[in-house]
Chain A
Amino acid sequence: MKEQNLADLEAAFNEKLKQDIRIEPKDWMPDAYRKTLIRQISQHAHSEIVGMLPEGNWITRAPNLRRKAVLLAKVQDEAGHGQYLYSAMETLGASREESIDDMHSGKAKYSSIFNYPTLTWADMGAVGWLVDGAAIMNQVPLCRTSYGPYARAMVRICKEESFHQRQGYEIMCTLMKGSEEQKAMAQDALNRFWWPALMMFGPSDEASTHTQQSIDWKIKRHTNDELRQMFIDATVPQAELIGLTIPDKDLKWNEERGHYDSGEINWDEFWQVVSGNGPCNAERIAARLKAKEDGMWVREAAMAHAEKKKARKAS
């Protein structure tokens, strides 16, 4: 009887997926689907939170007030995006605190791109243009992901994200209209961020362990390589338009495929950074831990104050 029940539930779940009906928090779902979502959404949330660090690095040194206000607003958005995503993750029964601790211990990952340093102001341009551009490529299809709360969070995020990419590209355009030094700075930022940005789409389809199952569950709508190709095709003309050179000698338009062919990604570097050996992994985690520990007394005091107020009201 019980087994029959489970089979019915599973059939109903699969039928919903087939008909593109969203799965909602209280609906029955297979454990593995729940686990995969918790892993993906939390990883996504951690990326938004850690993603504040490389750009936060430049807020006090933005070249003028306009750029400073914009960068501040962008970093605030990243914090907000992290909040939307953690809240979507919590609808699956996961604990926010445990999830954040998992990031600090290295058990949970975040996007490797944030383990690269932001050395010059031009990096703010490259990050907005390429990193947010790649994120948008990933996120737009996720607006149709099968889990309702995740899809709704992605709709909000995508709406807000497009300013992020445009402001980054605007920084690059401005630099490319400037002095020789400024042009060289923009090119240097592109040189350093191009390959890590391509790595943001994850391992190649042959090496990706989760892709097929996630596509069957309609969590993912495209494979890593498909998204990477879309990003390359969209970005190359943007670079050419303002006189920047993509640092890939094998990059060439393929008339037959209707896509750009590109060089091989340094997967060794990718796995090194994923496994904790990137230039800034230790620094990023240390900054997050410090924020958690330094803020602990504030969170505890706020809770104590709230409880005291409640008790006073009750008496």
Chain B
Amino acid sequence: MAGKDWPLWEVFIRSKVGLNHKHVGSIHAADAEMAVENARDVYTRRSEGISIWVVESSQVFASDPADSDALFEPANSKIYRHPTFYEVPDGVGHM
């Protein structure tokens, strides 16, 4: 009996103008149009969104948590990318 589920889609919602789309969960649907409609019914019953993106879950390629240390190491070691790394005299005011 298995294997008859409709494809799975990941749902992203823009909650209001000016904000980015954010992942909220997933939904089953036969196609993209239906995925948008189902996502509306499941994830925006209380006006949580003004725009919906759906992406078929099988199309998402994700980083592997086991590789996180190596993957993000380049950023961890570059603290000079943050403004607080630099010393400036107190008198300079806001910079």
Contact = CB atoms under 8 A, between A and B. Distances in A.
Interface residues of B, number: 22
Given A24-B65, A302-B34, A305-B30, A160 B46 contact: yes
A107 interface: no
Interface in B36-90: 41-42, 45-46, 62, 64-66
Contacts of B45: 73, 76-77, 80, 160
B6 A299 contact: yes
A96 B62 contact: no
**Is the contact region of chain A dominated by helix, strand, or loop, or is it mixed?**
helix
Name the 4 nearest CB pairs between A and B, nearest first. A306-B31, A306-B30, A302-B30, A87-B26
A90 B6 contact: no
Interface in A11-26: 24, 26
Contacts, number: 59
Given A26-B62, A302-B34, A96 B42 contact: no
B42 A84 contact: yes
Interface of A: 24, 26-28, 73, 76-77, 80, 83-84, 87-88, 90-91, 95-98, 101, 149, 152-153, 160, 299-300, 302-303, 305-306, 309-310
5 contacts: A83-B27, A84-B42, A87-B26, A90-B8, A98-B2
Given A26-B64, A160-B46, A302 B6 contact: yes
Contact of A90 (B4, B26, B41): B26
